[in-house]
Structure 1
Amino acid sequence: MGKHTRSEHTLELLLVSAAEQFATHGFAKATLADVSHAAGVTKGALFFHFPTKDALADAVQLRGLELVEQTLARLRADETSCLQVIVDVTHTLNRLLREDLFLRASVRITRELPRTGATDGGRAHDFYLAWLSRLWPLVDEACRNGELPPGRSVPARTVVTAAVSGVETLVWIGLPPPDVEKWLSHLWQLAYAGTPRRIRTTPARPEATRVRGESPAGHS
């Protein structure tokens, strides 16, 4: 293994270990010593890549941000309706918050180290900002292309905010995936009542929100 390849391998070990520590113990209780020990990497190697715990947390949240980008790109490639994409993103989030280590870590970091303001250099990759800053423009686009009646942009943004924060909270308290699916479906039925285009409010496929190994849930 070449020097560059070894460095990349070490970096990945550290990121996975850090995500596990942050997701399990939170930012405050996770220590750099625990991260390096779990990764099987020396402290010197850890500090070579990440001089502080803040830098490590930023890198973990950046990985979570990459997942946001990939998710949105995939769903937009398969669907022309902005409102449908928003629904599908929230159902996908229900699954990813249970399955993806980096996303779970990003939530815990955001909970413990929230942004203190939009102009004061707060955390750049915060969980809520990552998702909402990409979903709100879809609401505006839906208004422009006639999917939403005039004047519905601000109320629709409010519902999107409630959906993202609601899914995260419901997953956090341990509500089973099918129950979160039903909650989302009811929320979107209320939000999209009276819109010109018919929007599917349930997951696109049972597998879309089902955790690996879980039996399919029934849908209305």
Structure 2
Amino acid sequence: MPRQLRAEQTRATIITAAADLFDRHGYERTSLSDIVEHAQVTKGALYFHFAAKEDLAHAIMELQSRASRQVTSDVEGQGYPSLEALIRITFALTRLSVEGPITRAGLRLATGGVEVRPPLRHPFSEWLEIATRKLLGAIRESDVHPDIDVQAVAHSLVCFFVGTRVTGRPLEPVARLPRRTTEMWHLLIRGLVPVHRRPRYLSLVMRLEREVATAV
């Protein structure tokens, strides 16, 4: 195997192992020795790629941010109405959280006291911007009541979405996340969407939940 490819695979192995431990035990309770053992690499291999645990945490947060941006770009490229796009983005992010530890660990690190260094943005800020933009579009498309406080709704939506993951982590399995995303949208749709448009979006939410559950 070429040396560069082997180095890339080792780096990916270290990141995945660290993300798994950060997600399960937290940043402070995970040592570099724990990561070395979990990744089944040498300390020399770890230090070749990462000078400190903070650098490793930042690499995970960068991957989480990159994955979130890619999901958003992919959904927006499909030309969906704004509200449908927002719903699909939240389920796509949910799927990422269920499929692997990097997205979960990135969020836990960002909300657990690890500094998010510029130019990286905090996931809460990124998601708040997306939610605000999509809600404004949904108002223009008459899928959301025009008199809502967009900033308040966007903030509440992101708090709900992030809070479910943060508080639910030690209490229920990660496979429960699609159901929690559905519950969030059932509440929001009934509060935000005109009555005659609700069935379409309630049906969409149920379908997306099934798709995520089936895929994972």
- Cα deviation, 1:94-143, whole Å, max 9, x if unaligned, reads 43333221011113212321669xxxx57935442343333322223334
Q: Give the counterpart letter for 1:210 in structure 2.
A: A
SS at match of 1:28: coil
Shift of 1:197: 5.5
Distance of 2:83 and 2:185 partners within structure 1? 13
SS at match of 1:38: helix
- Cα deviation, 1:35-82, whole Å, max 9, x if unaligned, reads 122222222221221111111001011111122122222322334211
- Cα deviation, 1:181-212, whole Å, max 9, x if unaligned, reads 54123222223233886551324445433165
Judge conservation of contact 2:161–2:184 (CA < 8 Å) in 1: no
Judge conservation of contact 2:132–2:151 (CA < 8 Å) in 1: no
Q: Which has the higher helix share?
A: 2
Judge conservation of contact 1:110–1:126 (CA < 8 Å) in 2: yes
Percentage of matched positions with identical amino acids: 22
Quote the residue 2:6 is aligned against.
6
Quote the residue 1:131 is aligned against.
127
Structure 1 segment 37-76 matched on structure 2, within 5 A: 37-76=37-76
Distance of 1:115 and 1:191 partners within structure 2? 35
Judge conservation of contact 2:165–2:177 (CA < 8 Å) in 1: no
Quote the residue 1:154 is aligned against.
151
Which consecutive unaligned segments of at least 5 residues does structure 1 have? 214-220
Distance of 1:143 and 1:134 partners within structure 2? 14
Distance of 2:128 and 2:115 partners within structure 1? 14
Matched, 1:194 2:191: no
CA root-mean-square deviation: 3.0
Distance of 2:125 and 2:160 partners within structure 1? 14
Distance of 2:121 and 2:53 partners within structure 1? 15
Distance of 1:24 and 1:59 partners within structure 2? 18
Q: 1:207 to 1:167 in 2, by over 3 A?
A: same
TM-score (norm 1): 0.77
Distance of 2:185 and 2:78 partners within structure 1? 20
Judge conservation of contact 2:145–2:192 (CA < 8 Å) in 1: no
